[in-house]
Amino acid sequence: MTFRNRLFNAYYWVLSIFYGLSAAILALAPGRAPMTAAIRTYTRRMLWAMDAMAGIKIELKGQEKLPKGAFIIAAKHHSWGDGFVMFANVDNLSFVTGDHMERFPLVGAILRKFGAIIVDNCGGPEARKALSESAAQVAAEGRRILIYPEGNLAKPGERFRYRTGVYYMSRDFNLPVVPVATNLGLFWEQTSKIKRPGTATIEFLDPIETGLDRTPFLTRLEAVVETRTQELIALATGEPVRPSVLVPTPDELRKGLAAVEAAA
């Protein structure tokens, strides 16, 4: 690991702990504004560190395509870094996260105060109902909602099954969906401590308007996100554009193994 990597990782943890504690304290204050300001400052400082320390420059494209008012951002999720980009550059943003985050000390209180939409990682009809109910208040406030439709951090060139939650939120609250493609995983892959210098692109694509049925909506969302992500990867690497590879999640692997064992 290079010195720049070590420096960035140290800065990352010091800053995360400091702002995590600050957010926990600000969660006790009336209103959401003080904590939101702290989170915005944190994410902008992390973007500065990504550039100055890790050598990762961010090229953000397509901001002119963002609708006015409330909408949903359905983004490719390559690393922790793409979350920093979203919160540093999109105002009035909430997000969807799994209930595993509540197990971390102080995080549950921060998420609830911030207005995060917390859902069961296992999915299913109950999780979809909870997602819709939790998103109702956020949509009523006119906030933007960030969701990672695969529900997992993907390696460059890989994809997971796109889940239906984003469709139901769009349908239930009549909100357009803005797909987002990225190649950031080439430079900061998932939760890796290794960062590679270069210019990473995160691109907002044309919004998907409401009115589509579930299957056409999910097919279109996956097609535009995966196609443009693979194009961005090819542009950065100089290699040919290749389709992304579908990989099973750990839960899908466990269920498949259980089915095989039950049939044996």
Rounded to whole angstroms, the Cα distance separating 50 from 109 reads: 28
Is the separation of the CB atoms in 72 and 177 below 8 Å?
A: yes
Q: What is the pLDDT of residue 130?
A: 65
Question: Mean pLDDT of all residues in the chain?
Answer: 87
Architecture of domain 60-263: 3-Layer(aba) Sandwich (3.40)
Amino acid at 201: T
- Among the listed residues 104, 93, 205, 106, the one whose alpha carbon sits nearest the alpha carbon of residue 139: 93
Q: What are the backbone dihedrals phi and psi of residue 54, each rounded to the nearest 5 degrees, phi first?
A: -95, -15
3-26 vs 107-114: helix crossing angle, rounded to 10 = 70
Query: Does residue 108 carry a pLDDT above 70?
Result: no
Neighbouring CB atoms inside 10 A of 260's CB total 9
Q: What is the pTM of this model?
A: 0.88
Rounded to whole angstroms, the Cα distance separating 162 from 249 reads: 11
Rounded to whole angstroms, the Cα distance separating 98 from 116 reads: 10
Q: What angle do CA 161, 163, 165 make, to 5 degrees?
A: 170
- For the stretch 198-254, pLDDT in tens is 999 999 999 999 999 999 999 999 999 999 999 999 999 999 999 999 999 877 777
